Amino acid sequence: MSPDFSSLVHWILFLPLGAALFIALFLRRAGAVAAWLSTGVAFALAALALRLLTVGVGDTTWHVELAKLGDISLGFGYLIDANARLMLFVVSFVAAWIHLFSVGYMRDDDARGRFFGGLSIFMFSILGIVVADNLLMTFVFWELVGFSSYMLIAHYFDKDYAAEASKKAFIVNRVGDLGFILGIAFCLAHFGTLNFAELGALKPAAGWPWVLGALLMCGFIGKSAQFPLHVWLTDAMAGPTPVSALIHAATMVAAGVYFMARIAFLLTPDLLQLIAVSGAGMAALAGLCALAQTDIKKSLAYSTLAHLGIMGCAIGLGRPDLAVLHMAMHAFFKATLFLGAGSVIHGCHHEQDMLKMGGLARKMPVTTAAFVAATLSNCAVPFLAGWYSKDAILEAAHASNLYLFTLLGLAAVATCLYSARMVRLVFFGPANSEAADHAHESPWTMTAPLVVLGLGFSVAAGFAADALIPAAALARVAEPLRAMTFHATSAATIVGLVALALGALAFRYYGRAAGVDSLRVDLPRFYGVLEFRWMDTVYGWYVDRVQRRLSEFLAFLDLLLINGVAVRWLGAGVPAVLGYLTGRTLHRGQTRLYALSLVVGTLLLAWYFLAR
C-alpha cells in the first residue's frame, strides 16, 4: 500500500476521534458548535471515504506492531478489501446524513455536546472495525462500539429505563464477546496468527476446527442481536432516535454480519447450517413480534431483528455476498424508517405510541413520502432496493433448503403485515391524540436526509446502483446485483407478491378501528404471546433467582468461613498462645504499643542496613 493510501485511512479513522476529544474538552456547553463540528467531520469522512474508493484496487494492507507482550504481537493495521469498501461507503455515507438529521432532532437538547461527542466516538469505533486487518484489532474496536452504544443509549440517563437499557446492552454484548475472546485465543494457539490475510492463506489439512468459528460467532450473536442474545436491541430504543437509526439499525448491528462475511472461510458446514436455521427462525419470529408493539421504535427494532436474521441466514447459506448486499440495502431503508420515525416523534412532541398517532400524511408530507418509500423497499416491492437483496436470499434459500425457504417466506409475509400496520396507524386515518393533531413537518436538516436516503437510495440503490454507489464499493456485490431479474414464476417472487397482497389486506384490516390495535381486539391471546418477552423472563429469572442468591451466599460464606472461622480462630488462637507464652506482657490490645513496636523494629532494621 502506498503511504498515500495508509495516511488516507489514518485520517478517516482518527479524524472523528479528534473531533470527539475536542468536543469533550472544549465544547461541553457549546452544543450548537459541537453539533456542526461533528456533522462536518462526518461529511468530511464521507468525502475521504469516496476518495479512498477511487485509489487502489484489490486487497490493500498496511500493518504496524504496536507492542509485543511476550510472544504475543499486538498488531494494528488496515485491510481494505471488497467487503471493506462496501461497508466503508455504507457507514460513512449513511452516517453523514444521520448526523445532519441529528442537528435538527437534538436542537432542544441540553446535552448536545455529549451526544455529538458520542456520535463521533462511535464513528471512530465502527470505522476501526471496517478497516481492521486482524482479529485483535477488530475486537478492540468491537468493544469501543459497544461502549459508544452504551453511552448513547444512556443519553437520557435520568430515566430509569434508559439506565437499565444501556447496562443491558453492554452486558449482553460482553457475554458474546467472552466467546470472541476465547476464539481469538484459540486462533492464536492453533494457527499462530490473528491476521485475516494470513489466516485466509492458510489451508489447514484437517479443515478449520468448528470450535474456532463457533467461538468467533459468539461475538456476532451478541453484536448483531441474534438469538439468544437478541434481548438488548429492543430496549436499546431508549436512546435518541438518530442513535437507533445509525447504531441499532444501519451500522453497528450490521458490523456483526460484516465480520462474519470477513471470516466466512473459517465457518464449517455444520456451523453454517446452525446460523442459517437460527437466522431464518429469528427472521420469522421477530417479524411477527413486530405486530405486537405499539411503540413505533420498538416495532422497528423487531423489524431490524428480522432483517439481521435474514442476513444471518444468507451467511449460513454460504452466500456472504448476499448478506453484505442486504446489509447495505437494509442500511438505506432502515435508516430512513428510523429517521422517519424520529421525524414523526419530533413532530408529535415526543409521542412514540402508534395508536396515538394517525393522519400525519397531510401534516408531514415529506416524512410520509420518504417513510412510505422505505417501507415499500422494506417489503421488497420489485425493483426497489430491498427487493434486490431479499429476493436473492429467498431464491438462494429455495435452491438449498425448503425449510429455510418457508421460514424466510413467513418472514416476508410478516414484514408486509407489520409495515402495512405501521403506515396505516401512523400516517392515515384520523389523528388519535392532541399531539398528532398538532403535528408539524420537521426542519430541512431532518427532511433532507429523509429525501436522500428514502426517496433516493431506498428506492434506487438496486436498479441505479452504478449511478449511486462508487464502482469500487460495488465490486463485492456487483454480480448478484446484476443477476437479479424479475421472473414472475420463480418461487421467491411468488412468495414476495403473495406477501405484498397480504400486506394490502392488512392495510385495510388495521384501518377498521382508530386508536386501538385490531389484532389485539380480535385475537388477544395470540397478541399476548407475541408481546410477551420470553427470553427476558428467562434471563430475569436467572439474574434474580440464581446469580443474586449465589453471590449473596458466597459473600456470606466468605464472611462466615474465611473471615469468621479461619481468621478469627487464627486471630484469636495464635495471639492467645503467644500471649500465654510471653506471660501476657505484650498483647494488651494497646494499638499505640503495637505501632510503637512496628516503628522500633523498622528503625532497628534501618540501622542494621545503614551501619553495615
Partner 1 sequence: MDSLDFLHANLAAVAVYTPILAGLVLLAGRRLPAGFASGFAFAGFVLPLLLGVWLVAPWPGQKIAYQQLTSSGSPWGFDFGLNGLSAPLFLMTAVVGLAAGIKALVQEVERRNTYLGLLLFMFGGTLGTFGTTSVLGAYFFHEFALIPTFLLTLFWGGAGRRPAAMQMAIYLTVGAMVSLAGLLLVLGAAKTGYTSTWSELLNTIDLRVVPAAAVGLTLFGFGVLASLFPFHSWAAPGYTAAPTPASMLHAGALKKFGLYGIILVTLNTLGGAHGALADWFLAAALANVVLVGLICLAQRDLKELLSWSSVAHMGPIFLGLWVTGVTGRPDGVAAALFLMVAHGLSCAALFLLANGVRARAGTYRLDELGGLAKQAPVLAALFVAATMASIGLPGFGNFWGEIGVFLALRDQSLWLQAAVASTVVISAVYALRAVAATFYGEPTAALQQRLAVAPVADLGWAERVAALLLLGASLLIGFQPGLVTSQTQDYCKDIAKNVAETLPAAAPAPSAR
Q: Which residues bind partner 1 (CB under 8 A)?
A: 24, 28, 66-72, 74, 136, 139-141, 143-144, 147, 150-151, 154, 157-160, 162-164, 166-167, 170-171, 174-175, 177-178, 181-182, 184-186, 188-189, 192, 211, 547-548, 550-552, 554-555, 558, 562-563, 566-567, 571, 591, 594-595, 598-599, 602, 605-606, 609-610, 612
**What values do phi and psi take at 324, rounded to 5?**
-75, -30
Q: Give me the DSSP letters along 257-301.
A: HHHHHHTGGG--HHHHHHHHHHHHHHHHHHHHHGGG--BHHHHHH
- Neighbouring residues of 474: CB distance < 8 A, sequence distance ≥ 6: 86, 465, 466, 481
Instruction: Please identify, using beta-carbon distances, which residue of 154 and 237 lies nearer to partner 1.
Output: 154
Instruction: Please identify, using beta-carbon distances, which residue of 159 and 487 lies nearer to partner 1.
Output: 159
Q: Is the CB of residue 332 less than 8 Å from the CB of residue 453?
A: yes
Instruction: Please identify, using beta-carbon distances, which residue of 44 and 140 lies nearer to partner 1.
Output: 140
- As measured in angstroms, the least distance from the Cβ of 544 to partner 1 is 12
Instruction: Please identify, using beta-carbon distances, which residue of 154 and 360 lies nearer to partner 1.
Output: 154
**What values do phi and psi take at 195, rounded to 5?**
-80, 130
- As measured in angstroms, the least distance from the Cβ of 90 to partner 1 is 24
Omega cis (within 30) before 269: no
Q: Nearest 5 degrees, angle CA 571-CA 576-CA 581?
A: 135
The candidate with the shortest Cα–Cα distance to 320, out of 262, 253, 281, is 262
* Residue located via cell numbers 418477552: 533
- As measured in angstroms, the least distance from the Cβ of 274 to partner 1 is 19
- As measured in angstroms, the least distance from the Cβ of 127 to partner 1 is 14
Q: Is the CB of residue 45 less than 8 Å from the CB of residue 97?
A: no
- As measured in angstroms, the least distance from the Cβ of 471 to partner 1 is 34
Instruction: Please identify, using beta-carbon distances, which residue of 471 and 598 lies nearer to partner 1.
Output: 598
Instruction: Please identify, using beta-carbon distances, which residue of 211 and 448 lies nearer to partner 1.
Output: 211
CA distance 242 to 235: 15
- As measured in angstroms, the least distance from the Cβ of 163 to partner 1 is 3
Instruction: Please identify, using beta-carbon distances, which residue of 524 and 571 lies nearer to partner 1.
Output: 571
- As measured in angstroms, the least distance from the Cβ of 594 to partner 1 is 7
Instruction: Please identify, using beta-carbon distances, which residue of 117 and 347 lies nearer to partner 1.
Output: 117
Q: Which cell numbers in the block locate residue 409?
A: 417466506
Instruction: Please identify, using beta-carbon distances, which residue of 73 and 268 lies nearer to partner 1.
Output: 73
- As measured in angstroms, the least distance from the Cβ of 35 to partner 1 is 18
Q: To the nearest 10°, report the CA torsion of 130, 136, 139, 140.
A: -90
The candidate with the shortest Cα–Cα distance to 475, out of 10, 88, 46, 2, is 88
- Neighbouring residues of 568: CB distance < 8 A, sequence distance ≥ 6: none
Burial class (CB in 10 A: 0-12, 13-18, 19+), 445: middle
Q: Which cell numbers in the block locate residue 26?
A: 472544549
- End-to-end, the C-alpha distance of the chain in Å comes to 64
Instruction: Please identify, using beta-carbon distances, which residue of 147 and 527 lies nearer to partner 1.
Output: 147
Q: Which cell numbers in the block locate residue 163?
A: 439506565
Instruction: Please identify, using beta-carbon distances, which residue of 141 and 302 lies nearer to partner 1.
Output: 141
Instruction: Please identify, using beta-carbon distances, which residue of 141 and 427 lies nearer to partner 1.
Output: 141
- As measured in angstroms, the least distance from the Cβ of 205 to partner 1 is 13
- As measured in angstroms, the least distance from the Cβ of 559 to partner 1 is 9
CA distance 154 to 419: 28
Instruction: Please identify, using beta-carbon distances, which residue of 585 and 591 lies nearer to partner 1.
Output: 591
**CA-to-CA separations, 350 to 214, 241, 301, 354, in angstroms, rounded:** 42, 10, 18, 12
Q: Which residues of 397-436 are buried (b: 16+ CB within 10 A; e: fewer)?
A: bbebbeebbebbbbbbbbbbbbbbbbbbbbbbbebbbebb
CA distance 109 to 404: 45
Instruction: Work out the number of other CB atoms within 10 angstroms of the CB of residue 502.
Output: 17
- Neighbouring residues of 63: CB distance < 8 A, sequence distance ≥ 6: 75, 76, 77, 78, 133, 134, 195
- As measured in angstroms, the least distance from the Cβ of 68 to partner 1 is 6
- As measured in angstroms, the least distance from the Cβ of 573 to partner 1 is 12
- As measured in angstroms, the least distance from the Cβ of 159 to partner 1 is 8
Q: Is the CB of residue 461 less than 8 Å from the CB of residue 329?
A: yes
- As measured in angstroms, the least distance from the Cβ of 74 to partner 1 is 6
**What values do phi and psi take at 123, rounded to 5?**
-60, -45
Instruction: Please identify, using beta-carbon distances, which residue of 21 and 491 lies nearer to partner 1.
Output: 21
Instruction: Please identify, using beta-carbon distances, which residue of 139 and 302 lies nearer to partner 1.
Output: 139
- As measured in angstroms, the least distance from the Cβ of 560 to partner 1 is 12
**CA-to-CA separations, 199 to 134, 136, 179, 280, in angstroms, rounded:** 9, 13, 19, 29
